[in-house]
């Protein structure tokens, strides 16, 4: 397990004493090293991963505006393009139920009042987190013993 304190010593990431105290007991700010075979690997992926029954929520702040990450935006949909490797490849593949991420948009350029509104949205999100439905990711029930899709679809390969 690598905590923020350990990260701070190696990356220049700094926490003041109050933040360090808060982070010490926070699972949300703790980075874990996933070991193949214990948490994932073989046929321990997605709904059969070692972290099933647990939930994950990514909270992200960006300098960009929401319209830049839409279907027709210059960067494409954030969850499907830029966050997919993290949400699916790191979190969901280990068995975590991944909740839709919380995004704070345009952070460096907004007013203090707009930041307060984002923080209030974050508080509301945390209070209602148990009502959030997880994002959908593959289920091993949809694949055969060699992990080939059981149903032919647009992503399946045929030989």
Note the pLDDT tens digit of each residue in 72-130.
Answer: 999 999 999 899 999 999 899 999 999 999 999 999 999 999 999 999 999 999 999 99
How many beta carbons lie within 10 A of that of residue 148, not counting itself?
11
Q: Report the predicted TM-score, pTM, of the whole model to 2 decimal places.
A: 0.72
Residue partners of 131: CB distance under 8 A and separation at least 6: none
- Domains plus CATH for the chain? 1-33 (no CATH), 45-142 (3.40.50.360)
| Sequence-ordered alpha helix ranges (H) in the chain | 4-11, 17-24, 84, 112-127
């Amino acid at each position: 397990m690598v905590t923020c304190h350990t990260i701070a010593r190696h990356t220049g990431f700094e926490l003041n004493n109050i933040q360090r105290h808060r982070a010490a007991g926070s699972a949300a700010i703790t980075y874990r090293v996933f070991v193949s075979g214990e948490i994932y690997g073989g046929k321990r992926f997605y709904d059969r991963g070692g972290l099933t029954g647990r939930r994950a929520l990514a909270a992200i702040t960006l300098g960009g505006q929401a319209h830049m990450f839409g279907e027709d935006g210059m960067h494409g949909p954030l969850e499907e393009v830029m966050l997919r490797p993290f949400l699916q490849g790191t979190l969901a593949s280990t068995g975590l139920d991944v909740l839709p991420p919380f995004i704070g948009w345009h952070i460096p350029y907004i007013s203090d009042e707009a930041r307060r509104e984002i923080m209030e949205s974050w508080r509301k999100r945390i209070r209602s987190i148990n009502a959030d439905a997880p994002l959908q990711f593959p289920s091993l029930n949809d694949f055969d013993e060699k992990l080939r899709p059981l149903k032919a679809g647009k992503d399946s390969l045929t030989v």
